Amino acid sequence: MTLVKPHGGTLVNGYAGHNASELKTIAAVHSKTVTLTRKQLCDVEMILNGAFSPLTTFMNEADYTSVLHDMRLSDGTVWPMPICLDVSEEFAASIEMGERIALRDHEGLLIGLLQVDEKFKADKAREAELVFGTTSTAHPAVAAMQEEGAVYLSGELLGVDAPAHYDFAHIRRTPAEVRAEFEEKGWSDVVAFQTRNPMHRAHFELTKRAMEEDGLNLLVHPVVGVTKPGDIDYFTRTRCYEHVMENYPEGEAMLSLLPLAMRMGGPREALWHAIIRKNYGCNHFIVGRDHAGPGKDENGQDFYGPYDAQDLVREYAEEIGVTMVPFQEMLYVPSEHAYIPRDEVGERESENISGTAFRKMLAEGAHVPEWFSFPEVLKELRKTMKPLHERGFTVFFTGLSGSGKSTVANALLNKFMEMGGRSVTLLDGDIVRTHLSSELGFSKEHREINITRIGFVASEITKAGGIALCAPIAPYASTRATVRDMISSVGGFLEVHISTPLEVCEQRDRKGLYAKARAGIIKNFTGISDPYEAPKNPELAIDTSGLQPDEAADKIIAELKCMGYILGGEGAECSPEEQASQQA
């Protein structure tokens, strides 16, 4: 028997048939440059190495429209996900038809050249509704679309250098390399397992059962490109996968990393994943409940039904030549000392640990039963997912000038220094303006740059396990949200709105800034001639009108104890909502 053929019949090789050196010369002298985003870089890599076969380039308008409405390319080939190169309207307007543009990574490495034969305006609302079934920005792909360029480019794409990867080189294989290894091993019936999370014993038993029941070999094929915000970093996950692989029968399973930018698109994404694995030589694909679902919308409703993905892949399975293997929920049955599919458990007592409960165990440093995971996997996860009281965090103050931000931040700094045990850094507004943003003015653009810089520095401090205290005015909600996302991905984040009223702030005006602003001497002054967008849902709101700085600092410490970032003392009583938020 032979391996399943690539989708469309031929495995694309975007590096063949042209001289890379000549293309580099053309790009250096004549070409405008697009610096690829992480998503675009993943897409280019997957087009050029054949993982997106039969695509040879980014979609033109005919293919894009056909995929949106019919889940097929314009020639009728099944393809459910639009793959488009987005650029700004300004950049698109600067390009002539037939012009070649250089596609580079963030370090300037030339990945490929695109000869622009077509440019068309994206209809983001229609795309979101047809592909993801929603226009809600609670869906990560829809939210990301709002930040992407409004024009799509297409044309001949020629590969120059593959994106540079300096990690896990021994398990980064192209579709051609995976296929060659399958053939060398004599494998022809292979099931792929898709994951963006660590694997535990239930996943191992599930995949092993699929192998045994259908006589299949296994490709563990985790995504290491772009996944869902908040996912465990792929470095940690990959070390976990390598430990799990040691438990499969020798020579029957293989691990390879997939540089895919996921869209979290539910049913369409599942079908897309199946096609991609077909290009890697797999003719079976495991599809789970709510496969690639992004979670819940703003109303607490799931974006997709639990079996929508399985139903769609099953519908197209024969046409694409990939058998859908349904993911069976595996439960641990103590009396059998084994994992058994839920529908076979019957009346026997069973155990399971939800993802939320498992994260809570790690956050609290609690014992995890051996039946749940492998010791080596838990060891790797504990290296990264330390208990909350060992993780770094940021306290981000925001409020009007004179509200008491700096004073409270200094009081908090001293209390942390008194406690000891962690490095603490104060990023006060005036200090940052002097040492980090001295060239910036006070326009909206410059204020946003200043706050983003503060957020970046705080995220690095937090990631390293330290405490960052940030005390800028930070008047704009969108910029504060950006900072929150930046820091929350690496540690704890506590937003403290110093909500002291404007009239009190003016009374405290030691520098006479409000008076000068009222007189028109100082322009764009927050609270007078420039807006202050008060936080709607800060972790804490503190009015310092009748509160001493150390009392305000004590409130913050109590909240941090409630959140779990500080041990000791009685702390504050957490509401059920706060507890659930911390566990998640």
Residue 413 contacts residue 286 (beta carbons within 8 Å)? no
Burial status of residue 91 (CB atoms within 10 A of its CB: 0-12, 13-18, 19 or more): middle
Angstrom distances, CA of residue 228 to CA of 63, 261, 353: 27, 10, 21
Q: Which two tokens stand for residue 25?
A: 């010369």
The edge-to-edge listing of strands for the beta sheet with 540-542 is: 424-428, 467-471, 393-398, 492-498, 540-542
Residue 192 contacts residue 277 (beta carbons within 8 Å)? yes
> In 3D, which of 398, 408, 388, 524 has the Cα closest to residue 462?
388
Catalytic residue list contains 196: yes
Task: Report whether the peptide linkage leading into residue 54 is cis, meaning its omega lies within 30 degrees of zero.
Answer: yes
CA distance 193 to 274: 10
Residue 261 contacts residue 39 (beta carbons within 8 Å)? yes
Q: Give me the catalytic one of 13, 56, 65, 197.
A: 197
Catalytic residue list contains 414: no
> In 3D, which of 65, 55, 47 has the Cα closest to residue 121?
65
CA distance 457 to 519: 36
Q: Give me the catalytic one of 49, 195, 227, 450.
A: 195
CA distance 306 to 293: 9
CA distance 258 to 237: 13
The residue type of 300 is G
> In 3D, which of 180, 276, 273, 198 has the Cα closest to residue 242?
198
Catalytic residue list contains 217: no
Q: Give me the catalytic one of 179, 196, 239, 263.
A: 196
**Active-site annotation, residues:** 195-197
